[in-house]
């Protein structure tokens, strides 16, 4: 937004300069028309003189006026050419600034769109995280109940001492292995007795 404002300010300055130059151009054209009127007045004055006077004075005055007018016209044509060149440059600069404004606005729109997409992805990730946490809590709860049932079943067996305090997984596995080994030994003993 700051870049667009800066570009627009530059464009306004260039347009103001363009208006000033066009105004100066119009003033020069007016001055040229005034010179043409003066030249016409001189021509009219010559018409009222006698033929000989008219001829002599006309030659002198025409030469002087012609030189003056040629100099003025040359100067004004030079100034007009310079102003036309400057106007062309200013119009090119304005076009470039307008293109930069459009590009900057498009870039801002792309950034906003990317920000919306990122926000949408972030919200989707948050939702997925929440679902995962709920599922994890549910699994943890089921696992804890299952573990408690295993503990109850393990330590309800005759001959197994109740745990002292919090029971680790290794201690639970050790107790279950002990029951399994005792059952295996007992079954082996029964087989030996039955074979005898």
pLDDT score of 127: 94
Flag whether 146 is in a domain.
Answer: no
pLDDT score of 87: 84
Residue pointed to by tokens 């679902």: 131
Residue 175 belongs to what domain range?
A: 168-195
Predicted TM-score of the model (pTM)? 0.41
Flag whether 99 is in a domain.
Answer: yes
The count of domains in the chain is: 2
Kindly state whether residues 19 and 106 are assigned to the same domain: yes
Pick the last residue of a domain from 86, 110, 134.
110
pLDDT score of 106: 93
Flag whether 126 is in a domain.
Answer: no
Kindly state whether residues 99 and 5 are assigned to the same domain: yes
Kindly state whether residues 175 and 79 are assigned to the same domain: no
pLDDT score of 111: 93
Residues 6+ apart with CB under 8 A from 14: 90, 93, 94, 97
Query: Tokens in use for 71?
Result: 């100099």
Residue 69 CA to residue 43 CA, distance in Å, equals 14
pLDDT score of 126: 95
Residue 163 CA to residue 161 CA, distance in Å, equals 6
Long-range contacts of 150-158 (CB under 8 A, 24+ apart): 150/176, 154/179
Pick the last residue of a domain from 110, 142, 177.
110
Kindly state whether residues 1 and 91 are assigned to the same domain: yes
Flag whether 14 is in a domain.
Answer: yes
Flag whether 16 is in a domain.
Answer: yes
Kindly state whether residues 101 and 175 are assigned to the same domain: no
pLDDT score of 51: 65
Flag whether 19 is in a domain.
Answer: yes
Flag whether 160 is in a domain.
Answer: no
Kindly state whether residues 27 and 106 are assigned to the same domain: yes
Residues 6+ apart with CB under 8 A from 154: 160, 172, 175, 176, 179
Kindly state whether residues 84 and 2 are assigned to the same domain: yes
Short-list 129, 157, 20, 39, CA closest to 83:
20
Flag whether 22 is in a domain.
Answer: yes
Kindly state whether residues 5 and 98 are assigned to the same domain: yes
Q: Are 101 and 7 in contact (CB under 8 A)?
A: yes
Pick the last residue of a domain from 62, 80, 110.
110
Query: Tokens in use for 48?
Result: 């009222």
What pLDDT tens digit does each residue of the chain (196 aa) get? 677 788 788 888 888 888 888 888 888 888 888 888 888 887 777 666 666 665 777 678 778 887 888 888 888 888 888 888 888 888 888 889 889 889 999 999 999 999 999 999 999 999 999 999 999 999 999 988 988 888 877 777 666 666 677 778 887 788 788 888 888 988 888 888 877 6
């Amino acid at each position: 937004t700051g870049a667009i404002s800066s570009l627009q300010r530059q464009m306004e300055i260039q347009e103001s300069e363009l208006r000033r130059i066009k105004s100066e151009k119009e003033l020069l054209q007016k001055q040229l028309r005034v010179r043409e009127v003066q030249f016409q007045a001189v021509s009219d004055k010559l018409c009222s003189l006698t033929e000989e006077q008219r001829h002599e004075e006309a030659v002198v005055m025409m030469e002087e006026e012609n030189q003056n007018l040629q100099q003025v016209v040359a100067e004004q044509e030079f100034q007009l050419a310079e102003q036309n060149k400057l106007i062309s440059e200013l119009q090119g600069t304005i076009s470039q600034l307008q293109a930069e404004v459009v590009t900057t606005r498009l870039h801002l729109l792309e950034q906003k769109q990317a920000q919306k997409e990122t926000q949408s992805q972030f919200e989707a990730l948050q939702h997925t995280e929440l679902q995962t946490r709920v599922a994890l809590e549910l699994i943890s709860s089921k696992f804890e109940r299952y573990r408690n049932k295993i503990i109850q079943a393990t330590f309800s067996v005759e001959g197994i001492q109740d745990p002292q305090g919090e029971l680790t997984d290794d201690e639970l596995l050790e107790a279950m292995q002990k029951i399994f080994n005792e059952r295996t030994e007992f079954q082996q003993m029964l087989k030996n007795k039955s074979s005898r």
